[in-house]
Amino acid sequence: MTEGGRPRDRAPVALVTGGASGIGLAIVGRLARDGYQVVATDLPGAEREAAAVGAGAAFVAADLTGAGECARVVAEAVRLRGALDVLVCCAGYQHIDPIDGFPEERWRHMLELMLTAPFLLTKHAWPHLTASGRGRVVHVGSAHSLTASPYKAAYVSAKHGLVGLARTTALEGGPHGVTCNVVAPAYTRTPLVAAQVADQARTRGIAAHEVEEQVFLKDVAIKRLLEPEDVAALVAWLVSEEAWGATGAVYPLDLGWTAR
């Protein structure tokens, strides 16, 4: 018997990029607990591999901006798990630079990692996702998928671009049972954000909680940083059977940021 195109006696297989820390690691852990066979990819490093494996995933080290790496990661995930039903693109970072001072190489690298790589991963995963009969693609965007801030040109451009990619993927994937969506969280308590809070606390000479309140939570309605597990919970629903009709959409988890 089959469920969609996937045998019912096989656990669904998920590939998560950026899966060794922060939101990506939380997604890996949540999907593993939900019964998925998970493959996590992230930059090489013993600590990253240990984190991903500890959360329940097989680990594939890769720099997704490298030539051929997206194809290799998909192929390796299929080799390790025998199939691919779910792709979650979470790898990324951000820099603060004015447009007139933004280094061109940094611009290219950010868009390659956060927009080109999700496209290439989707392209190479496509035969497996369509064969699944219930393929799922989720891009971890940001509130900056829906709004903008100064000094974040490349980051905002990439996160906006994910929306267009997701909507196109949804239209092409619909006849094959493939859905594609974007989750758009506000600031989340990840190691990256914690480092930014600490840096600004030192620069401004104020306490870390004051930085959170005055900078990171200034434009939101709910004055509390998200936790990575909050984002993982939304992703877990979007890749579930129950979310079969959810596609081509952006799901804000932005504490009311874009309600203004």
Q: Which residue among the candidates 93, 151, 155, 251 is catalytic per the annotation?
A: 155
- For 220, the token pair is 């939101």
CB atoms inside a 10 Å sphere around CB 6: 19
Region 9-22: what's the mean pLDDT? 96
- For 90, the token pair is 């979470």
Task: Give the Cα separation of 51 and 53 in Å (integer).
Answer: 6
Q: How confident is the model at residue 5 (pLDDT cuts 50, 70, 90)?
A: low
Q: How confident is the model at residue 260 (pLDDT cuts 50, 70, 90)?
A: confident
Domains defined for the chain, CATH in brackets: 11-186+227-254 (3.40.50.720), 189-225 (no CATH)
C-alpha Rg value of the chain to the nearest Å: 18
Task: Give the Cα separation of 70 and 224 in Å (integer).
Answer: 35
Region 238-252: what's the mean pLDDT? 98
Region 221-243: what's the mean pLDDT? 97
Reply yes or no on whether the pLDDT at 2 is more than 70.
no
Q: Which parts of the chain fold into alpha helices (H)?
A: 22-33, 46-54, 69-81, 104-111, 117-132, 153-173, 191-204, 208-211, 228-238
Q: How confident is the model at residue 199 (pLDDT cuts 50, 70, 90)?
A: confident
pLDDT for residue 95: 84
Estimate the crossing angle of helix 228-238 against helix 22-33, to 10 degrees: 50
Closest CA to 75 of 39, 114, 118: 39
pLDDT in tens, 20-62: 999 999 999 999 999 999 999 999 999 999 999 999 999 999 9
Name the residue with tokens 């998970």: 38
pLDDT in tens, 96-144: 889 999 999 999 999 999 999 999 999 999 999 999 999 999 999 999 9
pLDDT in tens, 142-185: 999 999 999 999 999 999 999 999 999 999 999 999 999 999 99
Reply yes or no on whether the pLDDT at 1 is more than 50.
no
Reply yes or no on whether the pLDDT at 4 is more than 50.
yes
Name the residue with tokens 């792709």: 87
- For 174, the token pair is 């619909």
Task: Give the Cα separation of 192 and 175 in Å (integer).
Answer: 39
Name the residue with tokens 């996160």: 159
Please say if 155 is a catalytic residue: yes
pLDDT for residue 141: 98
Reply yes or no on whether the pLDDT at 201 is more than 80.
yes
